[in-house]
Amino acid sequence: MARFSAISRVSAGDSLAAPTDLRYQITPGGTLTGRLRVPGDKSISHRSIMLAAIAEGETRISGFLEGADALATLAAFRQMGVVIDGPNAGEVRVHGVGMHGLHPPGHALDMGNSGTSMRLLAGLLAGQSFPVTLAGDASLSRRPMRRVTEPLAMMRARIATSENGTAPLHIEPAAGLAGIDYVLPVASAQVKSSVLLAGLSASGETCVTEPARTRDHTERMLTAFGYSVRRQGARVCLTGGGRLSGCRLAIPADISSAAFLLVGASIAPGSDLLLEAVGINPTRVGIINILRAMGADIELLDRRTAGSEPLADIRVCSARLKGIRIPLDQVPLAIDEFPAIFIAAACAEGETILTGAEELRVKESDRIQVMADGLARLGILAEPRPDGIRIVGGELGSTTVTGAIDAHGDHRIAMSFAMAGLRSSGLIEIHDCANVETSFPGFAELAASTGLGIEEQRG
């Protein structure tokens, strides 16, 4: 698909020998100490641009994540005529165009590696009066899109996928969207948000019922923009045809990025780390709950709110971890953090069992298989299952003998195995790490500044 090649990036599935390969080499041992702030929340950054663009008036955003995924969302709205100043050290100013002010982009919008951009934009653009195509990289083009196109079709949206139900998505203008009352078949905040965003331009009421509570940033942020959202238990509803008013948004640090350091400091003896201003939305704190259940020493300090989102400074000190059976209700609350949790499990005493997490197989990579393969290279017994994994804690080896770990272009796999070096007996080499840029720009430098022996190698 040459016409989408303007943005070049390393994609999942590229060969290890690809000239753009970014590798991490991790020297064993180390201690994580100090005080730092990880970049802004990715989910909230995407939503801040989307809602600000269709709001009336100006929105000022601080703490915006300048990673490739959120920048793909920002670029898409620029290509639809929205004037956006920045980002400049996390500050962005969006001159909103209102619900009907977007322009046809005239070419396909490149969502890169970002599932959130593609699924949420499918809903937001379904009710617009122009056709648009959403395309992505090799990894994103393998991920399931019918989970959004099916409910959107029930709302009378006209969206075509490939025969396999994958990207690119071709959206044609609809004659008018109609609200639906939709029960989500999977616990997915992206699907919930996509339907709610389509609901903004639909007639009548749009309701979504979730099988388990998922991140609620869309609902909170709509409220911050003055749009009424009603929640009753597991059901959330809004009425189409309203307007959003520009506002100020302060985005907290991303708990999903903090997760790597929470695990790293927990497993590295002698660690004592303070992570500043991390979002602790109750729909995102599975990582804290699970690590604490494993025996981690984590304290939440100076709890406060930034607009509609709660945050805190998080202090984490090293601790002896023990394996657990991960409670089912924590799975959606920690859905992006399992690669990091698997590293904690590998360093824990006894076995850790995860079930009910089949969604991990359709993330940026098949996170159950890719993590099991990498853990096996480190000599850890990791038994993949259709909906989870069993990991028996032990001594982490080195890749010097077994061969490098392949991150498969998945940012969270790369960062998780980087943390494993804190407890490994020898060097760990990880291939295909360039997509760390999608969610945690500056990861290697920041991790090195706290005590991880990480070196980047290109070529």
Catalytic residues, by residue number, are 336
Nearer to ligand S3P among residue 69 and residue 313 (C-beta): 69
DSSP 195-239: HHHHHTTEESEEEEE-SS----HHHHHHHHTT---EEETTEEEEE
Residue with tokens 């028996």: 392
Taking CB under 6 A as the criterion, which residues in 24-53 touch ligand S3P? 43
Contact between residue 187 and residue 210 where contact means Cβ atoms under 8 Å apart: yes
User: Could you say whether residue 193 binds ligand S3P (CB under 6 A)?
Assistant: yes
User: Could you say whether residue 254 binds ligand S3P (CB under 6 A)?
Assistant: no
The least CB distance from residue 91 to ligand S3P, in Å, is 22
Taking CB under 6 A as the criterion, which residues in 149-188 touch ligand S3P? 188
Nearest to 374 by CA among 431, 294, 455, 453: 431
Binding segment toward ligand S3P, per CB under 6 A, in 22-30, 131-139, 189-197, 341-349: 189-197
Helices and strands (DSSP H and E) totals, the chain: 13, 25
Contact between residue 249 and residue 224 where contact means Cβ atoms under 8 Å apart: yes
**CA–CA separation, 144 and 121 (whole Å):** 15
The least CB distance from residue 332 to ligand S3P, in Å, is 7
Contact between residue 120 and residue 47 where contact means Cβ atoms under 8 Å apart: yes
Contact between residue 42 and residue 63 where contact means Cβ atoms under 8 Å apart: no
User: Could you say whether residue 139 binds ligand S3P (CB under 6 A)?
Assistant: no
Nearer to ligand S3P among residue 308 and residue 398 (C-beta): 308
Nearer to ligand S3P among residue 62 and residue 283 (C-beta): 283
**CA–CA separation, 13 and 410 (whole Å):** 10
User: Could you say whether residue 335 binds ligand S3P (CB under 6 A)?
Assistant: yes
The least CB distance from residue 115 to ligand S3P, in Å, is 6
Taking CB under 6 A as the criterion, which residues in 393-422 touch ligand S3P? none
Report the largest interatomic distance among the alpha carbons of the chain, rounded to a whole angstrom. Answer: 62
State how far the alpha carbon of 429 is from the alpha carbons of 131, 141, 408, in Å: 45, 27, 13
- How many Cβ atoms sit within 10 Å of the Cβ of residue 176? 12
User: Could you say whether residue 336 binds ligand S3P (CB under 6 A)?
Assistant: yes
Taking CB under 6 A as the criterion, which residues in 358-377 touch ligand S3P? 359
Q: What 3-state class would DSSP assign to 336?
A: coil
The least CB distance from residue 154 to ligand S3P, in Å, is 18
The least CB distance from residue 269 to ligand S3P, in Å, is 31
Q: Which amino acid is at 22?
A: L
The least CB distance from residue 187 to ligand S3P, in Å, is 7
User: Could you say whether residue 257 binds ligand S3P (CB under 6 A)?
Assistant: no
User: Could you say whether residue 190 binds ligand S3P (CB under 6 A)?
Assistant: yes
Residue with tokens 């990673």: 67
User: Could you say whether residue 309 binds ligand S3P (CB under 6 A)?
Assistant: no
Q: Which of 109, 189, 288, 357 binds ligand S3P (CB under 6 A)?
A: 189
The least CB distance from residue 188 to ligand S3P, in Å, is 3
Query: What size, in residues, is the chain?
Result: 459
Site track 73-112 with ligand S3P (rule: CB under 6 A), x = hit:
----------------------------------------
Residue count at the site for ligand S3P (CB under 6 A)? Answer: 10
Contact between residue 265 and residue 316 where contact means Cβ atoms under 8 Å apart: yes
* Binding site residues, ligand S3P, CB under 6 A: 43, 116, 188-190, 193, 215, 335-336, 359
